[in-house]
């Protein structure tokens, strides 16, 4: 079995080792400081005997290094070096995650971790339920306080039967081994974790939650940054927010009220626009073409349902309706209660002339055109088509 140097000392990055087996691109060493990944932390990379290590993994109790292009033989003694900047970033990220979740969990004891992901590019924890920014903010402040206070971090091994096991954040049914690797952040947190951590919280520098996104059925992803990246990200976000607040003519202390008022106003404008479109459609005067009423109009709305409902109603009465809704692009609807007007054919022919597309059924068809300036010409063309059909 490979001697796992990273377990005794996470700070060993350069070491000498003997090649104990070679299998194509893969080699094993007598002892290694390369972490094969685990606990959500991705594996290390680096150099072995001057050749790049692109992947490290665990296979049959051995730690296997993928070293494409190597020419090693069993028994060779070689100098190895883990990409330390990368590994140190992962160690800090992993420790920071413990601090963050500790506070989130204390605020919401029902909250569970679904997955942890710690890589150089992205660091996040997936939790099984949504959690508000108020709680996240408390957690970030708590974690930064613990970072500043500089608590020590210690790794130990605990038996599954140890009575103290109940103090650990751990799901026993998930643990298969008899011994559990436990990480203790002095006076703050005790968690089961097989990842690699720093020795003192001060090393993390800072932590900042940069975004929260949906993880689908799994729950919610809480992304965070550490160290300089955390400071950079928080400053750049704060600057964007201040610029937006300024653009809205508000003040940081008033912004939540300003946004809430704007949302309210927007909803009420939408409602008013909808009501006015409905009343405009109701008062439309039809053109009578050879005994058939044809209702046609252009409306400033992107609410397709208002137009659809009205067109369906006119169709039921045996009339024809040709409506255009103007939003970011044009919505074109055609409905007919008279079989002579083939809506599907007419709409697809007409809209293709204007660079748009449409489809549907003979009695009801719809489509869209990107160029809103074409609205009058499209309606004119549809009217000609209707007239020709009747």
**Interface contacts to Zn ion, rule CB under 5 A:** 94, 193, 195
Choose between 93 and 385: whose C-beta lies nearer to Zn ion: 93
Between CA 47 and CA 57 the distance in angstroms is 15
Phi, psi of 222 (to 5 degrees): -110, 110
**Token output for 388:** 């020709």
Please state the closest distance from residue 159 (CB atom) to Zn ion, in A: 19
Please state the closest distance from residue 193 (CB atom) to Zn ion, in A: 3
Choose between 37 and 195: whose C-beta lies nearer to Zn ion: 195
Please state the closest distance from residue 81 (CB atom) to Zn ion, in A: 24
Choose between 31 and 195: whose C-beta lies nearer to Zn ion: 195
Between CA 338 and CA 291 the distance in angstroms is 11
Q: Give residue for tokens 């009339």.
A: 319
Which residue pairs, CB below 8 angstroms and at least 24 apart, start in 1-5? 1/61, 1/62, 2/28, 2/29, 2/30, 2/31, 2/32, 2/62, 2/63, 3/30, 3/31, 3/32, 4/31, 4/32, 4/63, 5/31, 5/32, 5/33
Please state the closest distance from residue 149 (CB atom) to Zn ion, in A: 19
Q: Where are the beta strands (DSSP E) in 327-382?
A: 330-336, 357-361, 364-369
Choose between 184 and 221: whose C-beta lies nearer to Zn ion: 184
Between CA 336 and CA 315 the distance in angstroms is 5
Please state the closest distance from residue 32 (CB atom) to Zn ion, in A: 20
Please state the closest distance from residue 194 (CB atom) to Zn ion, in A: 8
Q: Smallest Cα–Cα separation from 383: which of 241, 287, 282, 254?
A: 287
Choose between 49 and 195: whose C-beta lies nearer to Zn ion: 195
Q: Is the dihedral of CA 46, 51, 52, 54 positive or negative?
A: negative
Task: State which H helix or E strand residue 154 sits in.
Answer: strand 153-159
Task: State which H helix or E strand residue 89 sits in.
Answer: helix 84-107
Please state the closest distance from residue 98 (CB atom) to Zn ion, in A: 6
Choose between 94 and 229: whose C-beta lies nearer to Zn ion: 94
Contact predicate 37/57, CB 8 Å: yes
Choose between 182 and 333: whose C-beta lies nearer to Zn ion: 182
Choose between 187 and 328: whose C-beta lies nearer to Zn ion: 187
Residue whose beta carbon is closest to Zn ion: 193
Please state the closest distance from residue 192 (CB atom) to Zn ion, in A: 9
Which residue pairs, CB below 8 angstroms and at least 24 apart, start in 251-254? none
């Amino acid at each position: 079995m490979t001697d796992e140097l990273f377990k005794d000392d996470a700070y060993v990055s350069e070491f000498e080792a003997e090649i104990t087996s070679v299998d194509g691109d893969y080699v094993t060493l007598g002892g290694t400081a390369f972490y094969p990944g685990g606990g959500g932390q991705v594996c290390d990379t680096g150099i072995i005997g001057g050749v790049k290590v692109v992947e490290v993994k665990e296979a049959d109790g051995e730690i296997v290094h993928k070293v494409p292009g190597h020419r090693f033989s069993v028994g060779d003694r070689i100098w190895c070096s883990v990409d330390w900047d990368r590994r140190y970033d992962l160690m800090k990220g992993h420790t920071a995650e413990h601090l963050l979740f500790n506070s989130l969990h204390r605020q919401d004891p029902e909250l569970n971790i679904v997955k942890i992901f710690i890589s150089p590019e992205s660091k996040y924890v997936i939790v099984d339920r949504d959690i508000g920014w108020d709680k996240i903010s408390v957690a970030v402040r708590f974690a930064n306080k613990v970072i500043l206070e500089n608590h020590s971090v210690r790794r130990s091994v605990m038996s599954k039967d140890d009575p103290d096991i109940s103090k650990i954040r751990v799901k026993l049914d998930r643990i298969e081994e008899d011994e559990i690797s436990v990480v203790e952040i002095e006076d703050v947190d005790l968690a089961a974790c097989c990842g690699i951590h720093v020795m003192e919280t001060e090393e993390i520098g800072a932590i900042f939650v940069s975004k929260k996104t949906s993880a689908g059925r799994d729950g919610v992803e809480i992304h965070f940054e550490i160290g300089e990246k955390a400071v950079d990200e928080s400053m750049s976000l704060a600057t964007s927010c201040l610029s937006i607040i300024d653009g809205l003519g508000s003040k940081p202390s008033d912004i939540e009220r300003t946004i809430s008022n704007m949302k309210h106003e927007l909803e009420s404008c939408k409602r008013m626009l909808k009501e006015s479109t409905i009343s405009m459609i109701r008062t439309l005067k039809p053109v009578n073409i050879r005994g058939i009423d044809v209702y046609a109009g252009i409306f400033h709305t992107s609410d397709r349902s208002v137009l659809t409902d009205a067109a369906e109603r006119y169709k039921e009465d045996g009339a024809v309706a040709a409506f255009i809704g103007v939003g970011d692009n044009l919505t074109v609807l055609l409905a007919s209660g008279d079989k002579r007007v083939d809506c599907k054919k007419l709409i697809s022919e007409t809209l293709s002339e204007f660079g748009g597309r449409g489809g549907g059924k003979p009695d009801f068809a719809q489509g869209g055109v990107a160029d809103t300036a074409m609205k009058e010409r499209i309606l004119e063309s549809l009217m000609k088509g209707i007239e020709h059909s009747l």
